[in-house]
Structure 1
């Protein structure tokens, strides 16, 4: 606590400097994101901080409404052919990019083609697409090899990689290389001259943006920007961020540290609320591409050794009401989700038996490199817990600590650990972003084209395709269970529990939209 007090005092003194205080303006929304922004291209990564950036700058053809059904956003409407293989999507009139150019169907076609190479749901849709093309400037035509009834759901989903629309010249960038020029058609314009990674990100209200007339809900409806400017202040230390919020130097702290929320809650000028009512799940992610965790038998041993109660109190500040065990690959409480991993994960933790199981699995002393961020409070302590557990199991552990931006970049390496690769990192997912088999990037078995860790499972991919085509609830349930059973057998990830994340903001802010991203619209100062 003494260290926190000193840091808080230092942070308050820093933020009280005239150079910063003079920058405070009533028409500026000042935001402290969950981590540093290192990847500007929101199609290139699943990092939540890049998702937030993407929603400020870009827009989507469809959004997800209050009942989680797709609704038009940039689109005016659509038509589907009788055989279900041709979709025509008509754009709203008057849409413009931040460089003044009109949004055209060719921009949408190129954007969706690139997105479909990176997003998990997009890859599934893309496999059924014969062509993304323009019928005319305002009409996008999607030709399919087979009907895909959930096409709009894929285009509308909130994340982790939304189907953001960008100009054709940018969308033609290799999907595995970053777009560096941020030109979107969303409510805010990115200000590249003011961007300093590790310190500051700035946006200006887009005067040419024409919001829809419906109320804002999640990533749909009227995205009205009530502030002239949006400024991100990167503050890695939780105490400093809390001090800045209390002093009024910032308006909104995205992920409030659980240890500090009781203090913040006592401040009448601050509101502490659930970030997303559906909650989050935490996971340990294996690199299934390189030894030693290209061995499913070894991963099953780690799965059975993990005790979620060793992880969750670290993320919730010891608040037992803010988390619960989740022996499932999907968030509990959602349709079709059963805790099919309860037997494997809920058994007593017999270390001697587990050590023998590690040897029986064929582990030969290979180095296990764990990537652990210092500046992302939600997972900062997980690396220590996992490192200690694996050491107890007799593994050769190398815990490497770094900032989250470095983790995001390092986890793209497919090299062996001896050449800069990795074995494990920890992450969290918004419940809504992994709610069904098509969306759940964690367990999709797409191999080289899949998420970091490059887990491959032809069985899960086949079952997912069958689930997409399932006509009855009973058939969906059967396939949902089969997918989970296969995932617990092959173990691409280990679930660490389900929890509620808190956000904190100045009480004079109104219009906050709870959900799986930090939406910058609809907010205004009372």
Structure 2
């Protein structure tokens, strides 16, 4: 058996600098548990297979030379490519999960071992499952200069560690390159709801793109913590007595991330592009006679008919949000993605800092000029108190929580429901609850184009069947995090109403069974789509399928991932109902509510519903001059929605965030916001 020869270069990481320390052609062993190693595997000739970052404690020991081949071949006896989850220690109490891939025919590994400054004292777990006896017997000695922190025996602890003699002097030398004060730039590490895939802030209504947008871009107006719209990029504005002419002037000193000034022409082009992608924006554009810049910092919006929600529209949080872009990018058709990511927000994006499937690093925008007012939700001064925001891709919630407890992760947007009680007892962690518009509301979306639920009478059976308390109990949520709510425009919003909710007040299987007998239902299958990768959607749909069966429906439950659910719902056949949830900030207004926003349109995402009585009410709501008038219109819309059972709510709940206790001044928001926060 050939011995795998390892060439290595040892470097020390200090802040953003890498200091070369030592090179050697002697055999080294990597066990996947120490510092960070970047490996390139050479499989022969000039063919090169890049390996992922792997954690690795290293030792220079002659008796490990023969064990090294056993290290690879015995650990991976079937000769196939493998992924082995390991922990690469970055600093004391901070670990990163990486992967090591072995490929058959490997003969040489070129390693660059990065020894992070501050990692001294981190040991190795010799009992890591999956490693060979040869590895556990003596080829794994941690590179360290402090006391051991692993679980090795006293005999193993007494073994010589050849590296420690030269590591300490070089670490002392490296300290000369530390920034003033002896601390590296502050970094906050976060795990969000999903990977950020679409960076164009107008292209998709995806929540994760909205979160990215608030970091990198800025808005003309923004909502404060009391739901009031406040100026953001705008310094001042005027409105004509008839409400048809609006003049806006931008704040001084606004710059794009490429250093060019923000102009009124940029904002006009951005609003036009956003209006082509947003249902709310399209309503404003439909009421617009002209939208033109007056000079470099001011522009005028002239309406051809009253539109009572101009400022609410410009300051909406509903996705896609009216984020501002440079004019040259805003001229990109809404059907195409912008070719470059340039914003004017408090964080900057660089393509070099974005590794798809792994992480994205956003850096503090040193040129950003925050407003003078205190930070207040999305409004006020966006003062960034960290140097960088490191967004990691960790799909598994349990893994993310373990990483947060170990100190690697600072913030997790969605804490798993089943771990909330344990997290609340953990003194290292804080759980951030949400209420009102920051809560989610779940709905069962029905297909009006085909199948049993094309009949409104059969759809109305759901009003008597759905028990919101059972769904919330299925999540394992206490009353602190969840509630039943029959209001279509959510409880706690200005448009909360009880109109049309009578059939929903006492749900039961018996009442639903009796209502079903009075319909023309003849046993046709009800296809329930269950997304197996979204906890709330999965549980809500499974509970509905069970209650449908008990009420007398013939249920066909089809399990798939969420992406497949979204694809299936665009078809007129092949599905009947599925559970979905959205934030209150998007659902509380008729003009932004995605459940009814595509009523009587050609869109394939609204369940193919068309209730003609709803159509004129949207325009009436937008033109209504007072809150009271809008509330009356919203109540009428709710009566129509429930009268036709377009959708049925299954509960209102918070999906709490979790963060380490070292974070302070974190803004309470279901949309993660990372200005104002400090890391102790």
Residue 75 of structure 1, CA deviation: 0.9
Alignment of 1:431-450 (within 5 A): 431-448=584-601
Does 2:217 correspond to 1:217? no
**Corresponding position: 1:33 with 2:192:** yes
Q: How does 1:336-355 map to 2 (within 5 A)?
A: 336-345=495-504, 346-350=506-510, 352-353=513-514, 355=516
Maintained 8 Å contact 2:600/2:615: no
Distance 1:340 1:331 in 2: 12
- The CA RMSD over aligned residues, in Å, is 3.0
1:363 deviation in Å? 7.4
Normalising by structure 1, what TM-score? 0.87
TM-score (norm 2): 0.68
Distance 1:116 1:233, change over 3 A: same
Map Cα deviations across residues 138-166 of structure 1 (whole Å, 9 max, x no partner): 21221211122320111112223221111
Pairing partner for 1:313 from 470, 473, 481: 473
Match in the other structure for 2:445? 285
C-alpha change, 1:79 and 1:483, in structure 2 (3 Å) is same
How many matched pairs?
A: 506
* 2:65 aligned partner: none
* Matching residue of 1:460: 614
| Greater C-alpha Rg | 2
SS at match of 2:445: strand
Please point out which of 87, 92, 103 is paired with 2:246: 87
* Distance in 2 separating the partners of 1:242 and 1:332: 31
CA contact (8 A) 1:281 1:496 kept: yes
Counterpart residue number, 2:539: 381
1:410 to 567, 577, 580: 567
Residues 103-129 of structure 1: per-residue CA shift (max 9 Å, x gap):
222221121112223333223222211
Distance 1:134 1:313, change over 3 A: same
- Helix, strand or coil for the counterpart of 1:88? strand
**Correspondence for 1:239:** 398
On the 8 A contact 1:444/1:461 being kept in 2, the answer is no
CA contact (8 A) 1:200 1:233 kept: yes
Aligned partners of 2:527 and 2:557 also within 8 Å: yes
| Distance change (3 Å), C-alpha of 1:256 and 1:181 | same
The equivalent position to 1:114 in structure 2, one of 273, 297, 302, is 273
List runs of 5+ in structure 2 lacking aligned partners: 1-83, 98-115, 119-183
Structure 2 equivalent of residue 9 of structure 1: none
Q: What is the deviation of 1:506?
A: 0.9
Residue 654 of structure 2 is aligned to residue 495 of structure 1: no
2:583 to 402, 411, 430: 430
More helix by share: 1
With over 3 angstroms needed to count, the CA separation of the structure-2 counterparts of 1:255 and 1:360, relative to structure 1, is: same
**Which of the pair has the greater relative contact order for Cα pairs under 8 Å at 6+ separation?**
1
Alignment map for 1:18-167 (pairs within 5 Å): 18=90, 20=96, 22=116, 27-167=186-326
What is the deviation of 1:40? 2.6
Shift of 1:479: 1.9
- Mapped partners of 1:220, 1:321: distance in 2: 27
Cα distance in 2, alignment partners of residues 216 and 364 from structure 1: 55
Q: What residue in structure 2 maps to residue 299 of structure 1?
A: 459
Farther off after superposition, 56-65 or 294-303: 294-303
| Counterpart-to-counterpart distance in 2, 1:191 and 1:15 | 27
